[in-house]
Amino acid sequence: MKKMNFLKAVPKINVYDNDVDAFVPEIWANESLAILEENMVAASLIHRDFEDELAKFGDIVNTRRPGEYVAKRKTASDDVTVQDSTAVNVQVPLNQHIHVSFLIKDGEESKSMKDLVETYMKPAMLAQTRIIDRIVLGQYPRFLINSFGGLNTLTTNNARDRILGLRNVLNVNKAYMDGRRLILTPSTETALLGLDLFTSAEKVGDDGTALEEASLGRKYGFGMYMSQNMAGVVSNPTTLPVTIGAVNNAGGYAKGTTTMTVDGLSAAVTAGQWFTVAGDDTPQQIVSSVGGATPTSLTFYPGLRSAVANDAVITIYNKNTTGATAYANGWSKDILYNGSGATVPQIGQMVSFVVEAGVTAHVYSIVEVDTVAGTMLLDRPLESAVPAGSNINWGPAGQFNLGFHRNAMSLVVRPLAMPRAGTGALSSVVNLNGLSMRATITYNGLKQGHLVTLDMLCGIAILDQNLGSVLLA
């Protein structure tokens, strides 16, 4: 992924030849935290809430969304109007315990610390960085109410207007002008780089740097970054099967419509399934349908963002089920996706679950997929229970680009406690720049090597929905 030089320098312990013990946990903690911060993109651009008080998984911490003041007038004889300093409390569960563990076999410890870092720590921290950025960027479904554009419709001809439209969404929502960012998928970045507006040395005024480095820089009030972890979902019949129908209304339907008559559908649909309509091209979710096995009407949410014509193609994304497995509220680990159905989900894809007839749970995004086990990991723990046999509703294909001010969301981090003394574990906790890393080293006699675990405890919170938006492309 590409990033600008916006990160602060991170102090590092020099680790060259093996003039220190290769298994001093302080060194592993410091070095791992430095690598983590150097490689983060999204998590470095949002608000971070950190205190050095020890916490454990499931603890609730309180962060704040600042309130607003109102300007007043006074005359020469008036006192000033004193306003209370208010802030809305936001409770955040520390329900993301992220770790990477690896075994260093006997004999490997004779290597220099530098070699151990290259062989073990860097790959481990890149994996940890990747999952943290995916968690942050995976909050995009929670800002879809502020979306602009249409899925699979971005071209070099309309790209400028799309970005201006997204800017207008944030302007209308009174989002702060300073400090806006826009994280692009690789495909969206490629489309924008095709515009002279972004790369022409004459128009950009950078002596050709934008063209040489394929850098978008700052445009229209957004600091622009490309991240390979931003959600780009590819339309593929093998992994994303769909059902096709059409609008059935001579006059079409206006913007804001939430119920449409349809035809061409030969299979029943269920509450919670996602679909798009050509001409609107925004994610819509079915609330109910009429017609049973041959649906003739769909009621949906949030409603059309643009008018659609008669016979406009409706693409309904098929569903899987969780099978015989049930998942409790707060479940934070893998979820089986191949209980029934043929879809293989993609990283970044939206997903939702039908909890009971006509009621859908929260919308999540997928941060990891294990195609061998048939499981997926979500951007955050479940916020409501998913009973056995529940539908898994797959979000639509397209490019989802996240625009936001840093106060739109917060990554809340707290230090983990060290293992109890006498357990034989060497451990250290390092805190730096709003992050915390614990390194724990134990010896595994059965495996004949040292087990190194690098872990952190965090939670993700939306602070202000008005400060985030999604560019659909």
Contact 362, 341 (CB under 8 A): no
Given the structure tokens 């951007």, which residue do they identify? 379
Can you give the pLDDT at residue 67? 61
* CA distance linking residue 244 with residue 318, whole number of Å: 10
Contact 357, 338 (CB under 8 A): no
Question: Beta strands of 126-256 (E only): which ranges?
Answer: 147-149, 180-184, 218-219, 222-226, 232-233, 242-247
Give tens-digit pLDDT for 24-62.
898 899 999 999 988 888 999 999 999 889 999 999 998
Give tens-digit pLDDT for 196-232.
766 554 444 444 444 444 457 788 999 999 999 999 9
* CA distance linking residue 402 with residue 384, whole number of Å: 25
E strand or H helix at 401: strand 398-405
Among the listed residues 300, 319, 321, the one whose alpha carbon sits nearest the alpha carbon of residue 258: 300
* CA distance linking residue 102 with residue 343, whole number of Å: 32
Can you give the pLDDT at residue 467? 97
**How far, rounded to the nearest angstrom, does the alpha carbon of residue 294 sit from its chain's CA centroid?**
36
Can you give the pLDDT at residue 12? 47
Can you give the pLDDT at residue 32? 93
Q: Residues of the chain whose pLDDT is less than 70?
A: 1-22, 65-70, 83-87, 197-215, 237-238, 340, 355-361
Contact 415, 429 (CB under 8 A): yes
Contact 402, 182 (CB under 8 A): yes
* CA distance linking residue 319 with residue 298, whole number of Å: 17
DSSP string, 353-396: EEEETTEE---EEEEEEETTTTEEEESS--SS-B-TT-EEEEPP
Residue 33's CB: how many other CB atoms inside 10 A?
26
Q: Which residues of 198-218 are buried (b: 16+ CB within 10 A; e: fewer)?
A: bbeeeebeeeeebbeeebbbe
**Cis preceding linkage at 302, omega within 30:** yes
Give the chain's radius of gyration (CA, Å). 25
Contact 320, 340 (CB under 8 A): yes
* CA distance linking residue 157 with residue 135, whole number of Å: 32
Name the token pair of 107.
Answer: 């004999």
Name the token pair of 161.
Answer: 């207007």
* CA distance linking residue 154 with residue 440, whole number of Å: 47
Can you give the pLDDT at residue 187? 94
Contact 400, 233 (CB under 8 A): yes
